[in-house]
Amino acid sequence: MRYLVVPPLVTLRNLAGDELNDETGAPAAVSFSQFTLSRLTDLLFALEGMDGALAVVAISKELVRAAPGSVLLLDDAHWHLLARATKRPTPNPSGLIDPYYSPVILHNMVPYMKAICEASDRVSHDQTIGAAGT
């Protein structure tokens, strides 16, 4: 099993560090769940057939409780697929780039990428599965 601590909400900034705004003028932000759900649409999961489908279902269920500071519990095989799709996204046959992997946005996603790829195989004594930590 892998224990993944959900990072805080990311406010988007350009490469110069200026805050980006959404269409209403408010600061643009991306949640961990939004980013991770985008990873579950990677072609890698489809290429894995039923194993990929089972991973998508299980990870999606965990994301329902993905509040910052909470700890998600992922099966090792499912985590491996998610980590692979995060580290090296599968090229989209249509040529479209995942918006979170565009050069303008990608650097903002590093905390989420690290949380996924560096998920621990142990839960620490101060972490509670499914609950927000302190």
The total of other beta-carbon atoms located within 10 Å of residue 67's CB is: 15
Indicate the domain borders of the chain. Answer: 2-117
Q: What is the mean pLDDT of residues 66-90?
A: 96
Give percent above pLDDT 70 in the chain. 93
7: left (phi over 0), alpha (psi -120 to 50) or beta: beta
Residue 3 has a pLDDT of 97
Residue 93 has a pLDDT of 81
Q: What is the mean pLDDT of residues 37-44?
A: 95
Kindly report, residue by residue over 95-109, the tens digit of the pLDDT.
Answer: 888 888 988 899 999
- Give the torsion through C-alpha atoms of 31, 96, 47, 71, to 10 deg: -10
Residue 131 has pLDDT above 70, yes or no: no
